[in-house]
Amino acid sequence: MNKQARIDALVADWSTNPRWKGIERPYTAEEVVNLSGSYKIEYTIAKLGAERLWTKLNSQDWVAGAWCFNR
């Protein structure tokens, strides 16, 4: 993915993903991309756990945090 595509993807994510609703940033997507490294590091297990927790937090009235880590 080239630099402009990364910037466009970040701008799109910030504007459409409900996770970022209400977040104000004193920096631009271009600044973020310029400061990030050339390699994208993925932490697959952490990402999957975070996505699972986020889904539960937004779809259930009550979520036991310890339950998420014991499973």
Q: What is the pLDDT of residue 59?
A: 93
Mean pLDDT by 10 residues, the chain (71 residues): 92 94 94 89 90 91 66 51
8 A C-beta contact, residue 33 and residue 7:
yes
Q: What is the pLDDT of residue 63?
A: 82
Q: What is the pLDDT of residue 35?
A: 94
Q: What is the pLDDT of residue 65?
A: 66
DSSP letters along 1-49, please?
--HHHHHHHHHHHHHH-GGGTT---SS-HHHHHHHS-SS----HHHHHH
